């Protein structure tokens, strides 16, 4: 006698869809593909999501959920702006290094360049942490271009993580350069020294 299949929750579906979208991109995954991985009929997906774009955006938000919470906590702790920057960089580096699927999703979106999805992601997923980073930048260096500083913080961390496969073959590349705490310490020192001149 076969056991009845346990109904899949919305969260279950999103968690199973994230790796699919990360590996194949938005265009490379169909609702049928997702249904097959989840173990339900494609029509059943529409009970939870009106269309693929809605499912995709919710999967992106789900992939970012723990990071957004971690970033918010790191940016709202008490202490000097420099101490808060160091804490934020550490949290950002640790969280992003642990989730290659999310980094791959982000890379795919940037390469696809779909304007509607990028606008939705900026508004629905990245807006709040970005604003918090801009506020911290203003505290660190009043009068600086907060947008550029916030982008530089994120870019420095992400680029170190994304170039790990090739970096080991470059002169001076060491295994320790892939450790989140080493990256975070380096980026923090680089930022604190570089921020001195960013308001000019």
Task: Please check whether the domain covering 63-197 is classified as CATH 3.30.70.2740.
Answer: no
- Structure token digits, residue 183: 């990256």
Give me the residue label for tokens 């999310």: 102
Cβ atoms of 118 and 57 closer than 8 Å? no
Measure the CA–CA gap between 135 and 146, rounded to whole angstroms. 7
At residue 199, the pLDDT reads 52
pLDDT at residue 124, rounded to an integer? 75
- Across 165-195, b (16+ Cβ under 10 Å) vs e yields eeeeeeeeeeeebbebeebbebbbeebeeeb
Residue 200, judged by CB atoms within 10 A of its CB (0-12, 13-18, 19+), counts as exposed
Q: Show pLDDT as tens, one digit a residue, over the chain (200 residues).
A: 444 445 578 999 999 999 999 999 899 999 999 999 999 998 889 989 999 989 998 998 888 887 878 877 887 778 888 999 999 899 989 999 998 898 898 888 888 888 988 887 788 778 888 898 899 899 988 998 999 999 998 999 999 999 988 988 999 988 899 999 999 999 999 888 876 655 54
Report how far residue 86's alpha carbon sits from residue 187's, in angstroms, rounded to the nearest whole number. Answer: 9
What was the pLDDT predicted at 7? 54
Query: Can you give the pLDDT at residue 196?
Result: 65
Q: Describe the chain by its helix, strand, coil percentages, rounded to 5.
A: 75, 0, 25
pLDDT of residue 194: 78
User: So what's the pLDDT on residue 63?
Assistant: 87
- End-to-end Cα distance, the chain: 74
| Rounded-to-integer distance, Cα 133 and Cα 130, Å | 5
Closest C-alpha to 75, from 172, 147, 140:
140
Residue-range domain boundaries for the chain: 63-197
């Amino acid at each position: 006698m076969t056991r009845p299949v346990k109904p899949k929750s919305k969260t279950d579906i999103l968690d199973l869809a994230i790796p699919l979208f990360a590996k194949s991109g938005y265009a490379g995954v169909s609702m049928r593909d997702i249904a097959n991985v989840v173990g339900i009929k494609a029509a059943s997906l529409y009970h939870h999501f009106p269309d693929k774009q809605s499912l995709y955006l919710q999967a992106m938000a789900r992939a970012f959920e723990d990071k957004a919470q971690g970033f918010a906590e790191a940016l709202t702790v008490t202490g000097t702006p420099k101490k808060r920057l160091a804490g934020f960089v550490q949290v950002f580096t640790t969280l992003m290094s642990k989730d290659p699927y999310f980094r791959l999703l982000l890379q795919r979106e940037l390469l696809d360049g779909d304007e509607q999805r990028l606008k939705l992601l900026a508004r629905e997923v990245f807006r709040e942490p970005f604003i918090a980073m801009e506020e911290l930048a203003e505290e660190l260096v009043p009068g600086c271009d907060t947008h550029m500083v916030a982008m530089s913080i994120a870019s420095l961390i992400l680029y170190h993580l994304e170039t790990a496969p090739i970096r080991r073959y470059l002169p001076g590349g060491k295994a320790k350069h892939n450790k989140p705490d080493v990256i975070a310490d380096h980026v923090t020192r680089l930022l604190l020294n570089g921020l001195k001149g960013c308001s000019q």
